[in-house]
A and B are shown apart, each in its own frame.
Chain A
Amino acid sequence: MQDINYLLLFILVMAVATFITRVLPFILLYKISDHPMLIYLGRYLPPVMMVLLLIYCFKDLRFSTFDDGPAELLALLLVVALHLWRANALLSIMAGTGLYMYLSQSLVLAG
């Protein structure tokens, strides 16, 4: 029972802390939401964030061996090429993921 109480309090603390990080800008910036600086950041931050989140997904790649890097790069190239060609998000994502799963599971690039 002691353990369950600890777990429940733990979950509460983590839930509140996570929510604070999400709600803070809405509270702090509410009064100045039409400030030119915020409109400017609101426009340019999303493209920047997409690139940062993308690179963050691959932060552990070392490119030191042949099976660590090329599969990711090839699959990403397919996603970009397909998306520029057909502009169908689901198609680009599924095709890229399929290629990646094939390359990484079959290890055709290894050795």
Chain B
Amino acid sequence: MNKSLLLSAFKATAPVFFGYIPMGIAFGVLFNELGFHWIYATLMALVIYAGAAQFMAVGLLANHAGFTEVAITTLLLNSRHLFYGISLINKFKTRGLRKFYLIFGLTDETYSLLTGTRPTDDKDQTNFYLLITVLNHSYWVIGSTLGAIVGANISFNTSGLDFTLPALFTVLAIEQYKSVRESWPFVMAFAVAFVSIWLFSRENMLLMSILLSIIVLLLLQRTKKSPEVIHRGSL
């Protein structure tokens, strides 16, 4: 593993670090109130590794929810992940355990980095992807564990620090524009997002707007020529 690759992976994931640590701590603090040992917060961050689902888990655990309910709500809440694989199916050029781990670690932020960044040398792509996934995963595990250990004793003002995540999505949107060089996908996404907030609830807007966007994209495909070779810029 060469050093410069590790360094560029650290640089690429730094915004996620500042988002996942406070978010993980928030989860850990909430989880701590259930009265379980902190090691289970670490376990959840390790094997579930999904922000929204874990926050929901605290509520479900408190209500002693049935496993069918747990399974169905988790599937629904995370159903947006179904569409992440579509963009990455041809980019994961590895097999076995490494591919399994890349797929397991596909959070919103990891997906954004994997589709928006590229190592300087293309032959390092798989290692770069693995590093990004491992780093993001470890930030989440560290944050969740810290939160559960320190629990309610924590009192530093991190309010606003999680702005790194929307800032990251903004930067990656600009990077996407530089590689796609077309503005209509962005305009369409804004329009679809506002229509879904208006038509559906704010809680369901993400999944609904993904579904609507795919429908619009497929309708537009008929009017467009086949796309040229995919070219992406690096972060």
The residue on B at minimum CB distance from A25 is: B85
Asked, given contacts A40-B227, A43-B180, whether A93 binds B167 with beta carbons under 8 Å apart, the answer is yes
Contact B221 A40 (CB under 8 A): yes
Give the number of chain B interface residues (Cβ < 8 Å).
91
Contact B193 A42 (CB under 8 A): no
The residue on A at minimum CB distance from B202 is: A59
* Residues in B lying within 8 Å of A, measured CB to CB: 11-12, 14-15, 18, 36, 40, 43-44, 47-50, 53-54, 57, 60-61, 64, 67, 70-71, 74-75, 78-90, 92, 103-104, 106, 108, 111-112, 115-116, 157, 159-161, 163-177, 180, 185-186, 188-190, 192-194, 197, 202-203, 205-206, 209-210, 213-214, 217-218, 221, 224, 226-227, 230, 235
Tell which of A26, A53, A54 touches B85, judged by Cβ atoms closer than 8 Å. A26
Contact B86 A51 (CB under 8 A): no
Tell which of A15, A75, A83 touches B47, judged by Cβ atoms closer than 8 Å. A15
Q: With the chains together, A90 CA to B43 CA distance in Å?
A: 30
* Residues in A lying within 8 Å of B, measured CB to CB: 3-4, 6-7, 9-26, 29-30, 33-34, 36-60, 72, 75-76, 79-80, 83-84, 89-90, 92-94, 96-97, 100-101, 104-105
Q: Which residues of A contact B167 (CB under 8 A)?
A: 75-76, 79, 92-93, 96-97, 100
Q: Which residues of A contact B67 (CB under 8 A)?
A: 9-10, 13
Q: With the chains together, A25 CA to B92 CA distance in Å?
A: 13
Asked, given contacts A39-B227, A54-B170, A84-B174, whether A26 binds B53 with beta carbons under 8 Å apart, the answer is no
Q: With the chains together, A84 CA to B171 CA distance in Å?
A: 9
Contact A104 B15 (CB under 8 A): no
Instruction: Give chain A's interface secondary structure class.
Output: helix
CB distance from B192 to the nearest CB of A (A): 8
Contact B86 A13 (CB under 8 A): no
Contact A38 B89 (CB under 8 A): yes
The residue on B at minimum CB distance from A60 is: B202
Contact A101 B180 (CB under 8 A): no
Q: With the chains together, A57 CA to B70 CA distance in Å?
A: 24
Contact B202 A25 (CB under 8 A): no
Q: List 8 A-B contacts (CB under 8 A).
A: A26-B103, A40-B217, A41-B214, A54-B170, A59-B197, A76-B166, A89-B171, A89-B175
Q: With the chains together, A25 CA to B86 CA distance in Å?
A: 6
Q: Which residues of B contact A75 (CB under 8 A)?
A: 163, 167
List the 10 closest A-B pairs by CB distance, nearest first: A25-B85, A51-B189, A101-B160, A17-B74, A50-B173, A47-B176, A46-B115, A57-B166, A21-B81, A54-B169
Contact A10 B61 (CB under 8 A): yes
Contact A36 B226 (CB under 8 A): yes
The residue on A at minimum CB distance from B177 is: A47
CB distance from A38 to the nearest CB of B (A): 6
Contact A14 B157 (CB under 8 A): no
Contact A11 B40 (CB under 8 A): yes
| 5 further contact pairs, Cβ within 8 A, besides A7-B61, A13-B70 | A15-B48, A16-B71, A45-B87, A46-B116, A47-B189
